[in-house]
Amino acid sequence: MTGLSHTPALVLVAAAYTAGSVAGAALGGPWWLTAFLASLLGAAVLLRDGGTRWLVVLAAICAASAGHARLEASDAAPPPPLAAVRGVHEVVGVARDDAVTAGTRVRIDLDVESVDGTPVEGGLRLTLPAPRDPIQAGDRLRFTGAVEPPPALEAFDYAAFLRSRDIYVTSAFPSSWERLGRVDQGWRGDLAALQRETVSRIERSLPEPAAALAAGVLVGERRTMPADITEALRVTGTTHLVVVSGQNVALLLGLAVAAMTAVVSRRIAAIVALVLLPPYVVFVGADPPVVRAAVMAIGVAFASLGGRRTPGWVYLLHAVAVMLAIDPTLVRDVAFQLSATATAGVILVAPVLRDAALSRWGALQRPALAAVVETFATATGAALAVLPVQVAAFERLSPWTVPANVAIAPLYEATVAVAALAGALGGFEVAAGGLRETARFVPEAFLAVVQVFARLPAADVPVSAPLLAGLAFVAALIVGLRWLASRTAETPALDPGHRTGLGATVALAAVAAGLWLAVLRPGDDLARVTVLDVGQGLAILVQDAGRAVLIDTGPADGAVLRALPAAGVRAGLDAVVFTHADLDHTGGIAALLRRLEVDAVLGDPAVLAVAGLDGSAIDIGDRVRLSERVSIEVLAPPVVTRGRAHASSNDASLVLLVTMGERRILLPADIEASAEAWLIESGQPLAADVLVIPHHGSRTSSTPTFVEAVAPAVAVVSAGAGNPFGHPLPEVLARYEGAAVLRTDLHGSVTLSSDGERLWWRTER
């Protein structure tokens, strides 16, 4: 037993405690079963080792038993009283973090203070319609609604996930809620404000969705990440790159060390990474998962400090054992599992792959190439190590997970650098403008690669693998690594004095590409109306002669900011026009005003007041002119006979007609049957080449007489994929027989272009 005789006793005890905790979670049963199995294994070790270390083996058996027993005791502890609360109650709590917006709803995690006036502690996840003023960390809320246990999700233990975050109950769409003020969170509040300012600078420097990605990789902010990109990240197993989690911190540290070896020695790179890690952890919020990950990730840096006899995996093992001793339930936490396995992959798997590649390709005398090889090895090692955990937790498998992580690794590092630059310099307009035209190509390339891998055949395969399959994968990985290590020639260290101009070359290439795209792109002399894909909402962009007017801004999740850059708007708008006050039409204005220069805001004064905006009134008969050939005219609602057209609040919507020379595009917003009837009886010419179908394809709109009066050749629906209303309804679409029906939920943004005589249309997908 040569290996055991040379292994420090503390390392064996830490390994035994960790193994006992894992055995308790994976196999269950009483703690003495683990003690019995550990005793059998210890007896076998003593027989092979000659019994020379029987005290160490006895200590390891006791540690394994203690690990299982502590987990068993923790499982037997009663949950907090909040976990038993059910039914309709009045709850008061404080928002832990800024609300996360998705479409027209937000999610907030609350630290509960009281239920029906009785003090109660614990966490609650609350879902609300998106408010006009964002809910921020420290806001005290009071709501009355149904309190329920977390819903059961297929292939994922959502309740366990929430329990790991001290959240035991949920509540969705309460009957009433209000803000009660703010709680001073001290340094945490200051930190949250700093994070918001950093995200704001990133948003000013980069278009969407590049800004959402940059904010995700730097501070874990994902509130404006598009749903299709979120799904592509999940399918390719790269979600960990855009959330500040354990896996993210471990991989970021490992890749940082790998990347810095292109310009400095490995020892210096590891020291720099260790120095930067604590302030980074504090900056992103110092949440428990991130702190745990940082402790484990230190092992990566120690593993990179050449000259030390203690390998990095020893630090990792000690960190895991201490964490499990403090909180044994971590052993079931998926984030903890991913963090530990990712760090192990960086420490144990990546060096073998790196050395094999460097030895085979002879890259040692080319530091830039060696750094690239090491970056790829780090990404591959982490991806291989977490694969069994991902399959066990989510019951999904993509054969492209490892290739996707490897391909994205250099783009990930570059995106972190771009995000850091944007966060630091985004407050300066000149710097923000320069980044917007050049640096955006890096995160956009990241997203493009992710989407390519997500569209490959068999990219998302449902898998239900038993525990033995995971153990077999790990065993095969160990055997493969041992075989690869045995065939790898001894690799000398890189020359720390050698430097490369790789970084400068990449920067110059990015600047050149940005200038080419910004200055040398051919002009477009067509007028355009683009129905933007903003999910379940409406936002329509009208452009001509260098001017741009946005009609409505979509929901509050920032979808309009992701759609505008693709339509050619990155810096500002000449005007924003609001058709009515519903949040799916006005919710995006706050984020829009933070990001873009808007010269004018137009709409019904009552609508502007509801949205809390200063602007100019616009009414029937008014006209907004963009150029000689393009204008936007208000056709309704009526001034004198408003009551007849206002059977519902939707009927108060502004009905707009965009004229592009001889072509006409009718935009009726959310009007319903009553307002449609008034328009027909008003005698105004309603015939149009294109109609944006009113109210997203609701059955209360698109009456047959209205459709006949407009007689569009093209009908466009703005609706969100899988929206809860079923928009557009099949019976409504049937009324547009003979017209080309285009849908943003299926086709993405729809662009209608005209030279004043002819009309063309194209879709995003």
**390 close to 342: Cβ distance less than 8 angstroms:** no
**In a domain? residue 356:** yes
Residues 550 and 603 in one domain: yes
Name residue 285's amino acid. G
Residues 617 and 472 in one domain: no
β-pairing, 396-397 vs 461-462, is: antiparallel
Q: Evaluate if pTM is beyond 0.85.
A: no
pLDDT of residue 635: 92
**In a domain? residue 507:** no
Q: Which of 185, 200, 228 is the last residue of a domain?
A: 185
Q: Which of 76, 91, 109 is the last residue of a domain?
A: 76
The answer, yes or no, to whether residue 122 has pLDDT greater than 70, is: yes
Residues 612 and 711 in one domain: yes
Residues 448 and 329 in one domain: no
The answer, yes or no, to whether residue 519 has pLDDT greater than 70, is: no
Task: Report DSSP letters for 359-404, one per residue.
Answer: HHHT-TT-HHHHHHHHHHHHHHHHHHHHHHHHHHHH-EE-TTHHHH
Residues 224 and 292 in one domain: no
CB atoms within 10 A of CB 88: 12
Residues 569 and 626 in one domain: yes
Q: Residue 727, CB half-sphere, CA atoms under 13 Å: how many?
A: 26
Task: Provide the strand spans (E) within 67-183.
Answer: 87-95, 100-102, 105-115, 118-119, 123-129, 139-147, 167-172, 176-182
Residues 638 and 724 in one domain: yes
The answer, yes or no, to whether residue 734 has pLDDT greater than 90, is: yes
**In a domain? residue 519:** no
pLDDT of residue 733: 94
Percentages (nearest 5) of helix, strand, coil residues in the chain: 50, 15, 30
Tokens of 753: 């272009």
Cα separation, 236 vs 227, in Å, equals 14
Q: Which residue has the higher pLDDT, 652 or 717?
A: 717
> Residue 297: which domain range?
238-397+463-491
Number of domains forming the structure of the chain: 5
The answer, yes or no, to whether residue 502 has pLDDT greater than 70, is: no
**In a domain? residue 715:** yes
**In a domain? residue 500:** no
Residues 732 and 746 in one domain: yes
Phi, psi values for residue 487, rounded to 5°: -100, 0
**In a domain? residue 516:** no
Helix locations, 455-582, DSSP H? 467-486, 502-519, 559-563
Q: What is the CATH number of the domain that holds 553?
A: 3.60.15.10
**In a domain? residue 518:** no
Q: Tell me the mean pLDDT in the region 466-482.
A: 84
pLDDT tens, 383-410? Answer: 888 888 878 777 777 888 888 888 887 8
Tokens of 29: 């049963």
- Cα–chain center distance at 161: 17
Q: What is the CATH number of the domain that holds 145?
A: 2.40.50.140
pLDDT tens, 587-635? Answer: 889 888 888 889 999 998 888 888 788 888 888 889 999 999 999 999 9
pLDDT tens, 241-272? Answer: 776 555 556 556 666 666 676 677 767 777 77
pLDDT of residue 729: 93
pLDDT tens, 39-60? Answer: 777 777 777 766 657 777 788 8
pLDDT of residue 254: 63
Residues 350 and 450 in one domain: no
Residues 483 and 629 in one domain: no
Q: Could you tell me the CA-to-CA distances from 469 to 25, 201, 466, 712 in Å, in that order?
A: 17, 46, 5, 58
Residues 351 and 282 in one domain: yes
Q: Which of 331, 389, 384, 391 is nearest to 353 (CA)?
A: 384
Name residue 764's amino acid. E
Q: Which of 418, 438, 459 is the last residue of a domain?
A: 459
Q: Tell me the mean pLDDT in the region 157-184.
A: 87
Band of residue 362 on the pLDDT scale cut at 50, 70, 90: low
Apex 446 CA angle, 240 and 510, nearest 5: 140
The answer, yes or no, to whether residue 518 has pLDDT greater than 70, is: no
**In a domain? residue 497:** no
Residues 356 and 440 in one domain: no
